Amino acid sequence: MKIRTGLGYDVHKLVEGRELWLGGIRLDYELGLLGHSDADVLIHAICDALLGAANMRDIGYHFPDTAAETLNVDSKILLRKTVDLIATKGYRIGNVDATVCAERPKLNPHIPEMQRCLSDVMQTDIDNVSIKATTTEKLGFTGRMEGISAYATVLIEKD
């Protein structure tokens, strides 16, 4: 069996007038993330980690923010396509470990739903999807609630 690891990172600015999508679910919050797609930083970090692990470049290469077909797209579609892309090289997901950095809203109550959603999209067992939430103790752009960031590390496998 061959295994590889990948690391992904994403950040988007918080703004008024946008829905907040994280981990494939919509959260009830007064601010949303600005981006070409739905700006789901968690999914974008996971996509980058998966693509990096498979040595397939990054999310911007496969789904550019200048393309009409990715304008306002649901990031779950990008994640499903990413899983399909790594499968073309014979890889499947071993596990995902991700951290979302946000002062608000509080994310811990939403983590189980995010895990269910993402495991369904990636067609992997829910136990293979770890999501954690943290703050930056009011430091930096995240602490000032100007944006949200996410980190993801993945293990992919092929026989």
Q: Determine if residue 141 is labeled as part of a ligand binding site.
A: yes
Q: Determine if residue 37 is labeled as part of a ligand binding site.
A: yes
Q: Determine if residue 136 is labeled as part of a ligand binding site.
A: yes
Q: Determine if residue 134 is labeled as part of a ligand binding site.
A: yes
Q: Determine if residue 16 is labeled as part of a ligand binding site.
A: no
| Integer Cα distance of 118 and 43 in angstroms | 8
Q: Determine if residue 44 is labeled as part of a ligand binding site.
A: yes
Q: Where are the alpha helices (DSSP H) in 33-104?
A: 41-53, 59-62, 75-87
List the beta bridge partners of residue 26. 21
Q: Determine if residue 124 is labeled as part of a ligand binding site.
A: no
Q: Determine if residue 144 is labeled as part of a ligand binding site.
A: yes
CB contact set of 140 (below 8 Å; sequence gap of 6+): none
| Integer Cα distance of 108 and 132 in angstroms | 8
Q: Determine if residue 97 is labeled as part of a ligand binding site.
A: no
CB contact set of 113 (below 8 Å; sequence gap of 6+): 23, 25
Give 17-39 as a DSSP string: TS-EEETTEEE--S-EE-SSS--
Q: Determine if residue 36 is labeled as part of a ligand binding site.
A: yes
Q: Determine if residue 110 is labeled as part of a ligand binding site.
A: no
Q: Determine if residue 137 is labeled as part of a ligand binding site.
A: yes
Q: Determine if residue 60 is labeled as part of a ligand binding site.
A: yes
Q: Determine if residue 58 is labeled as part of a ligand binding site.
A: yes
Q: Determine if residue 63 is labeled as part of a ligand binding site.
A: no
Per the annotation, where are the binding residues for a divalent metal cation? 10, 12, 44
Per the annotation, where are the binding residues? 10-12, 36-37, 44, 58-60, 134-137, 141, 144
